[in-house]
Amino acid sequence: MNAIVIEHVPVTELPQAWRDKLSQAADAHVTVRIEAEDQAAAAATDEFVTDDPAFGIWRDRQDMADVEAYVRRIRAPRFNRDGSRNELP
């Protein structure tokens, strides 16, 4: 197993999410150990599950039925090389 160990890291240099989990003073120093996750455990967490009601709100949009064409159209430049306006379908 590969691991990275960083010693004497000031708590103030850690990401905020990590600092929130620690009960150390702001001027304290800690040792950070980062290990690779077990592949079996990582595979189990790859399932995408959400209870967010906003997920999929655009799935019924008729103008986005052909996703590739929609993206191509919105990425098209507004103007042609000669300066004329690009009339989009």
Q: What pTM was estimated for this model as a whole?
A: 0.38
The owner of tokens 């599950």 is 49
**88: Cβ contacts below 8 Å, ≥ 6 apart:** 73, 76
pLDDT tens-digit map of 67-83: 888 888 888 888 888 88
Q: How far apart are the first and last CA of the chain?
A: 55
Can you say how many angstroms the Cα of residue 16 is from the centroid of all Cα atoms in its chain?
A: 17
The owner of tokens 């990590």 is 18
Q: Reply yes or no on whether the pLDDT at 29 is more than 80.
A: yes
Long-range contacts of 17-21 (CB under 8 A, 24+ apart): none
Which element (helix H / strand E) includes 33? Answer: strand 29-35
pLDDT value, residue 64: 85
pLDDT value, residue 31: 92
pLDDT value, residue 7: 92
Structure tokens at 28: 């304290």
